[in-house]
Amino acid sequence: MADGSPAGAPAATGPEPSGPPRRAGRPHENVLSRKLITEAALKAIAVEGYSAFTMSSLARRLSVAPSALYNHVASKQEVLRWLQDHVMTQVDVSGFTTEPWDAAVRRWAWSYRDVFAGHAPLIPIVAVLPVAGAPETLKMYEKVASGLAAAGVPAALIVPGIVALESFIFGSALDATAPADIFDTGELAETSPTFTAAVGAQDREAGAPADNAFRFGLDALLAQLQSTQATGSAD
Amino acid sequence: MADGSPAGAPAATGPEPSGPPRRAGRPHENVLSRKLITEAALKAIAVEGYSAFTMSSLARRLSVAPSALYNHVASKQEVLRWLQDHVMTQVDVSGFTTEPWDAAVRRWAWSYRDVFAGHAPLIPIVAVLPVAGAPETLKMYEKVASGLAAAGVPAALIVPGIVALESFIFGSALDATAPADIFDTGELAETSPTFTAAVGAQDREAGAPADNAFRFGLDALLAQLQSTQATGSAD
DNA sequence: ACCTGAACACCGTTCAAGT
DNA sequence: ACCTGAACACCGTTCAAGT
């Protein structure tokens, strides 16, 4: 795939502008690292999507043979775990130091959903990845937990609250990637009159269906958290 | 599980007990159909899991060549879509005709989560599959929508309510497959004191962490639905 | 119409050879 | 230590030949 040509050239973050192909043997400067691999993966997925993202395409973007990747990473799964933790840094936790706790949770939740709607294939990975191996993810939890604690949510309810919010966010991120006509019952409308009517009765002024459902659920979870707050605590 | 011979013999639902290998050419009776393929896929996944489930393993279980499957199904993705719709029949909607609406929603939600915790790889598929191609899924929605309508939930909120519940259920199903020690912060504990404390402050009497979070979120969504009910309607 | 068997264009991953 | 290039053991899918 002709390098020096538009598609094959390394990204702005890449090592060298191109040049002649590298011979075998250890290069004088490292051409690969966790950071470079993660950034190249992010770029590759942004450009070509997850379905075309292979170890080969990743290697090509780094101007390296596919097998070279295995000196730095154990598997494609591990690349995806690195990517997942990196993507977490894009989630907006700024509200927890600048806004009332409920506005902060709302800002965080919408941002979290939007980020992972763009990375749906990572969701089954995040949902199951131990935090010990994901430092950026842990940083995010620390911010959210601090926000809830300061708001007076009882200590025993902080983790259940975060997990409930996160589960809802992951499911909603998947839902956000669904086609707009997912609930069109088509020729099966007669077999499902109540549901078909409910689909038609949605408020079309209120915004995208996925956003309405997200707002509804987020309001519910916030109200439940609010009801657990110890009285007389901060903001 | 233990059918006649160790591996190659067809399941109890299969066509023939085994016999000599089939020659090329159209058999006198059809050996494949959507129903048989779906059942074989379900069985295969129950026995060997999703990671070992291939078109080859599916074909072997049906005692046909892999290429024979393509006379009946367009792709592996389509097999998974058939499977998804079939798995929906395992979700318990019985409460909607026998219990108060909130108990019915609870029964449905727990069952839905448990069923898909056992089929996590289907979740990204269900979340995005148009109902028009999934009759069993649509039947389920009809039951739930009827239950909510009868409970007095305003028509415009039924779909948002179902979508919010379902998003929460899918995310929780993924969460239910996570390792028990997912939140152990390990050597990063000092960098996340508040979160680490919250992990330790969970109520260990209350059951599995994933179950506590699910109960918390489900209570929240039910309370929100309840608050929207038109007064004086049936339950 | 619907099977078999060979073939195709991939995949992720391993490993010897090279520097 | 860390690259290249060849090789391995798969994958899902296509298609001609057969009945």
pLDDT in tens, A3-55: 323 333 333 333 333 456 776 766 766 779 999 999 999 999 999 999 999 99
Q: Looking at this protein, which amino acid is placed at residue A90?
A: Q
Residue B159 near residue A217 (C-beta atoms within 8 A): no
Say if B23 falls within a structural domain.
no
pLDDT at B75: 98
Quick check: A174 and B141 CB within 8 A?
A: no
Judgement on whether residues A172 and A66 belong to the same structural domain of the protein: no
Q: Which of A84, A174, A199 to mutate to test the interface with B (most CBs of B within 10 A)?
A: A174
Query: Min CA distance, A92 vs chain B (Å)?
Result: 18
Judgement on whether residues B62 and B111 belong to the same structural domain of the protein: no
Q: How many CB atoms lie within 10 A of CB A121?
A: 16
Say if B81 falls within a structural domain.
no
Q: Which one of B156, B197, B210 has the shortest CB-CB distance to A201?
A: B156
Q: Which one of B155, B160, B220 has the shortest CB-CB distance to A221?
A: B220
Judgement on whether residues B38 and B146 belong to the same structural domain of the protein: no
As for how many domains chain A has, the answer is: 2
What is the pLDDT averaged over residues A223-235? 77
Residue B233 has pLDDT above 90, yes or no: no
pLDDT at B24: 74
Say if B120 falls within a structural domain.
yes
Judgement on whether residues A101 and A188 belong to the same structural domain of the protein: yes
Quick check: B216 and A160 CB within 8 A?
A: yes
List, in order, residues 6 or more apart from B183 with CB less than 8 Å away. A130, A131, A159, B195, B199, B209
Q: What are phi and psi of A163, to 5 degrees?
A: -65, -40
pLDDT at A20: 63
Quick check: A145 and B182 CB within 8 A?
A: no
Judgement on whether residues B179 and B143 belong to the same structural domain of the protein: yes
Q: Which residues from chain B sit within 8 angstroms of residue A135, using beta carbons?
A: 188, 191
Query: Min CA distance, B211 vs chain A (Å)?
Result: 9
Residue B14 has pLDDT above 80, yes or no: no
Rounded to whole angstroms, the distance from the CA of residue A67 to the C1' of nucleotide D8 is 13
Quick check: B220 and A216 CB within 8 A?
A: no
Give the ranges where chain A is alpha helix by DSSP (H): 34-48, 55-61, 76-88, 101-117, 123-126, 135-150, 155-176, 193-200, 209-228
CATH number, domain at B54? Answer: 1.10.10.60
Q: Which residues from chain B sit within 8 angstroms of residue A194, using beta carbons?
A: 142, 145-146, 149
Judgement on whether residues A214 and A158 belong to the same structural domain of the protein: yes
pLDDT in tens, B69-127: 999 999 999 999 999 999 999 999 999 999 999 999 999 999 999 999 999 999 999 99
Q: Which residues from chain B sit within 8 angstroms of residue A182, using beta carbons?
A: 128-131
Judgement on whether residues A96 and A128 belong to the same structural domain of the protein: yes
List, in order, residues 6 or more apart from A162 with CB less than 8 Å away. A141, A144, A145, A148, B198
Task: Kindly report which listed range (A1-10, A97-106, A141-150, B144-153) carries the lowest average pLDDT score.
Answer: A1-10
Say if B14 falls within a structural domain.
no
As a whole number of angstroms, the distance between CA A216 and CA A95 comes to 21
As a whole number of angstroms, the distance between CA B207 and CA B196 comes to 19
The whole domain housing A184 covers 87-231
Indicate the pLDDT class of residue B29, thresholds 50, 70 and 90.
Answer: low
What is the pLDDT averaged over residues B31-38? 93
Strand C: positions under 7 A of a protein C-beta atom: 1-6, 10-19
As a whole number of angstroms, the distance between CA B33 and CA B37 comes to 6
As a whole number of angstroms, the distance between CA A214 and CA B161 comes to 9
CATH number, domain at A221? Answer: 1.10.357.10
Q: Which residue has the higher pLDDT, A41 or A235?
A: A41
As a whole number of angstroms, the distance between CA B130 and CA A182 comes to 4
Rounded to whole angstroms, the distance from the CA of residue B11 to the C1' of nucleotide C2 is 21
Q: How much is the pTM?
A: 0.90
As a whole number of angstroms, the distance between CA B113 and CA B171 comes to 9
pLDDT in tens, A178-219: 999 999 999 999 999 999 999 999 999 999 999 999 999 999
Nearest Cα residue to B161 out of A148, A199, A217: A217
C-alpha distance from residue A54 to each of A44, A173, B183 (Å): 9, 23, 30
Task: Kindly report which listed range (A23-27, A154-158, A163-167, B182-186) carries the lowest average pLDDT score.
Answer: A23-27
Number of CB pairs < 8 Å for A and B? 243
Judgement on whether residues B119 and B42 belong to the same structural domain of the protein: no
Q: Which residues from chain B sit within 8 angstroms of residue A192, using beta carbons?
A: 138-139, 141-142, 145
In angstroms, the first-to-last Cα distance of chain A is 59
H or E segment to which residue B101 belongs = helix B101-117
Judgement on whether residues B125 and B51 belong to the same structural domain of the protein: no
Quick check: A142 and B195 CB within 8 A?
A: yes
Say if B164 falls within a structural domain.
yes
pLDDT at A24: 74
Rounded to whole angstroms, the distance from the CA of residue A79 to the C1' of nucleotide C12 is 13
As a whole number of angstroms, the distance between CA A172 and CA A184 comes to 19
Judgement on whether residues B148 and B225 belong to the same structural domain of the protein: yes
As a whole number of angstroms, the distance between CA A168 and CA A221 comes to 9
Judgement on whether residues A92 and A49 belong to the same structural domain of the protein: no
Residue A120 has pLDDT above 60, yes or no: yes
Say if B5 falls within a structural domain.
no
Rounded to whole angstroms, the distance from the CA of residue A126 to the C1' of nucleotide C8 is 36
